[in-house]
Amino acid sequence: MPAPTLKMTMSRSDWILLGVLSLLWGGSFFFVQLAVGHLQPFTIVYLRVTLAAAALGIVLMVTGTAFPKGAAAWRALFVMGLMNNALPFSFFVLAQGEIGSALAAILNATTPLFTLVVAHFATTDERMTPARTLGLLVGFGGVLVMMNGAALHSGGVTVAAQIACLAAALCYALASVWGRRFKGLGVPPLATAFGMLCTSSLILLPLVLLHDRPWQGPLPGAVPLAAILGLAVLSTALAYLIYFRLLARAGAVNLALVTFLIPVSAIALAILVLGETLASRHIAGMALIAAGLAVIDGRVLRRR
């Protein structure tokens, strides 16, 4: 059968939704930066996923969408919650205790690069092509440029934080491949998001109780609490709602453009509100990652 025609254009409302989604996901790095130092890392992530799960649960009840059912679905959701929420969210929170939100967002943009590698070895229908290989090399070249010399300036602390961000991106890549099974399990997309947030909440609860012990620390102020609320309701629950709506309207190919926009919104918030700055190697690395993603996406090359 001929390959389906990809939707290459989007309406004005689609572009608006894409911009809002990039702002919400880019804003997650901003919200984390406001909360870090006021709350323990695992507590931040636990509150994020638990409050977001509660919000999506309300949406499922209001819309009449079926909740996940069956042991097989919940086993798959447990893995999804670990790989797509609990681990990467924790890695980013831990990393942002040492590096700024702008740099974390740039490193997050390597997720499609890792996804290419994971999909090549884990699937039979998403193999590497020469163009994708070139984009992969260019993108990871940008990572090397950004990390070059960091150990000399921080005694290795910044390098460890950047590696944590890359580990989070790898987790997202593994989760994207793992998530392909939910269509066969008959779990609706929003129910999948709700289920993985619930399981990640259960995964994180022992760490909060045994490691963070938030009841022993001082009460956080209004700003970090507002940041947690924004992180859960806006950058997680609302972002998932927009994501799946846009996926249905514009398709996965167009939705991939959000990868280019997330660092832009995150960097703008970091510089304008948090007063962060980027070194020249970070800017050069970001440019190489963007060039690699453009080659992988292929849209510009096809039009030329």
CA dihedral 199, 200, 206, 208 (to 10 degrees): -140
Please report the pLDDT score of residue 181 as a whole number.
Answer: 86
- The least confident of 6-10, 36-40, 269-273 is 6-10
- Which one is predicted more confidently, 12 or 137? 137
Please report the pLDDT score of residue 6 as a whole number.
Answer: 41
**To the nearest whole number, what is the mean pLDDT of the chain?**
88
Statement: residue 304 has pLDDT above 70: no
pLDDT band (50, 70, 90) for residue 150: low
End-to-end Cα spacing for the chain? 27
CB 81 within 8 A of CB 197: yes
What's the CA gap between 288 and 279, in Å, rounded? 15
Please report the pLDDT score of residue 131 as a whole number.
Answer: 85
Could you read off the pLDDT of 66-108 as tens digits, one per residue?
Answer: 999 999 999 999 999 999 999 999 999 999 999 999 999 999 9
Could you read off the pLDDT of 253-282 as tens digits, one per residue?
Answer: 678 778 888 999 999 999 999 999 888 888
What's the CA gap between 49 and 204, in Å, rounded? 9
The residues facing 36 across adjacent strands are 39
Could you read off the pLDDT of 176-187 as tens digits, one per residue?
Answer: 889 888 878 888
Please report the pLDDT score of residue 186 as a whole number.
Answer: 86
pLDDT band (50, 70, 90) for residue 1: very low
Annotate 266-289 with b (16+ C-beta within 10 A) or e (fewer). bbebbeeeeebebeebbebbbebb
Please report the pLDDT score of residue 277 as a whole number.
Answer: 87
Could you read off the pLDDT of 111-131 as tens digits, one per residue?
Answer: 999 998 998 898 877 788 888
Please report the pLDDT score of residue 153 as a whole number.
Answer: 52
Statement: residue 3 has pLDDT above 60: no
Statement: residue 228 has pLDDT above 90: yes
Statement: residue 298 has pLDDT above 80: no
Assessment of whether the complete model's pTM goes beyond 0.75: yes
pLDDT band (50, 70, 90) for residue 149: low
Please report the pLDDT score of residue 156 as a whole number.
Answer: 60
Please report the pLDDT score of residue 10 as a whole number.
Answer: 75
| Helix 41-63 / helix 189-207 crossing angle, nearest 10 deg | 150
Q: How far is CA 26 from CA 21, 72, 116, in A?
A: 8, 33, 22
Please report the pLDDT score of residue 300 as a whole number.
Answer: 61
Mean pLDDT over 5-21 rounds to 77
pLDDT band (50, 70, 90) for residue 146: confident
